[in-house]
């Protein structure tokens, strides 16, 4: 399947290929507007009194959610110049269950201020305008101006508190967030700690066993190597993990005998890779 656009029908790739033609206004003035809204009054949950008696907590209440957007376009000079402008603002904010502002901020102690529940907030704002000029019968010139702004305010709050020397307990399944925000880490699987320490300690203790290779040739020789513990071969590019104690230089020497190696890079493992590896070892 292919819609009108810049790609040709001969372009190689898996699955359907779709090109979109952005709006250019046209010879008729027209526009659109859409919006939605939500708050805690429109929110429900399935926490029954029985579950509450067993300690189940109410999920985070929706503080505010709305999305407003629209567009308008038409001719500047009929059959010659058109414009289309659009704008959107999206905001989402939820209360964090069981978390409150500190009533005794600035001291060594924490006393929850039950009148001020904690919440997160993020927003996205976009404004754009597009001008299209018909330079010739089959040629058009397009000028686009666009401004996008967003706020990951939870991140800003955490980094601000850390700069003030505050201690924060942060729970997430996003390992990329952990690498960017956390100083000390405890990885938990099925209620048990499987790895803990600082990010540097965990990565240095794990070793530099991850390698990426770009090559030309028959990559089946990599799968047969006794030095490799696991391998993902994409054809001309491979990502692998060495066995404990294996020498990366020895792998490079043996690989160069069978393949034309264009890039051989020893990588520091990501926290995501370390976590997956540790969990898979427990399952084994």
Q: What is the CATH number of domain 209-267?
A: 3.30.70
Check if the beta carbon of residue 250 is closer than 8 Å to that of residue 228.
no
Residues 6+ apart with CB under 8 A from 70: 31, 32, 33, 34, 86, 87, 88
Query: Which has the closest alpha carbon to 63: 150, 167, 177, 153?
Result: 153
CA distance 33 to 30: 11
Mean pLDDT of 200-224: 84
Task: Say whether pTM exceeds 0.75.
Answer: no
Query: Which has the closest alpha carbon to 88: 14, 27, 33, 169?
Result: 33
Residue 281 clears pLDDT 50, i.e. is over it: yes
CA distance 227 to 102: 54
CA distance 53 to 3: 57
What is the enclosing helix (H) or strand (E) of 204?
helix 199-206
Query: Which has the closest alpha carbon to 274: 214, 163, 189?
Result: 189
> pLDDT by residue (tens digit) across 85-111?
999 999 988 887 777 888 887 777 888
Tell me which of 72 and 173 has the higher pLDDT.
72
CA distance 81 to 77: 5
What is the distance between the terminal CA atoms of the chain, rounded to a whole angstrom? 44
Torsion of CA 1, 73, 87, 42, to 10 degrees: -80
Residue limits of CATH 3.30.70 in the chain: 209-267
> pLDDT by residue (tens digit) across 168-198?
777 777 787 788 888 888 888 877 888 888 8
């Amino acid at each position: 399947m292919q819609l009108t656009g810049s790609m040709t029908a001969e372009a190689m790739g898996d699955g359907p290929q779709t090109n979109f033609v952005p709006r250019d206004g046209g010879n008729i003035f027209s526009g659109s507007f859409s919006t939605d809204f939500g708050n805690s009054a429109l929110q429900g949950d399935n926490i029954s009194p029985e579950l509450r008696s067993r300690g189940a907590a109410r999920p985070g209440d929706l503080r505010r959610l709305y999305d407003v957007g629209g567009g308008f376009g038409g001719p500047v000079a009929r059959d010659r110049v058109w414009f289309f402008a659009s704008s959107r603002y999206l905001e989402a904010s939820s209360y964090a269950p069981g978390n409150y502002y500190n009533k005794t901020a600035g001291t060594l102690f924490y006393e929850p201020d039950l009148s001020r529940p904690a919440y997160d907030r993020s927003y996205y704002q976009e404004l754009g305008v597009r001008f299209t000029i018909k330079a010739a019968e089959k040629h058009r010139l397009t000028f686009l101006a666009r401004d996008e702004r967003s706020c990951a305010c939870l991140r800003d709050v955490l980094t601000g508190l850390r700069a003030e020397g505050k201690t924060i307990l942060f729970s997430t399944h996003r390992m990329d967030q952990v690498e960017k925000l956390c100083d000390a880490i405890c990885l938990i699987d099925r209620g048990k700690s499987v790895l803990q320490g600082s990010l540097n300690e965990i990565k240095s203790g794990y070793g530099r066993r991850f390698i990426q290779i770009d090559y030309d040739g028959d990559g089946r020789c990599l799968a047969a190597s006794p030095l490799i513990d696991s391998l993902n071969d994409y054809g001309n590019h491979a990502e692998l993990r060495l066995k404990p104690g294996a020498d990366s230089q020895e792998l490079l020497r043996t690989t160069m005998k069978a393949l034309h190696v264009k890039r051989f890079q020893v990588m520091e493992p990501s926290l995501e890779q370390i976590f997956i590896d540790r969990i898979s070892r427990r399952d084994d």
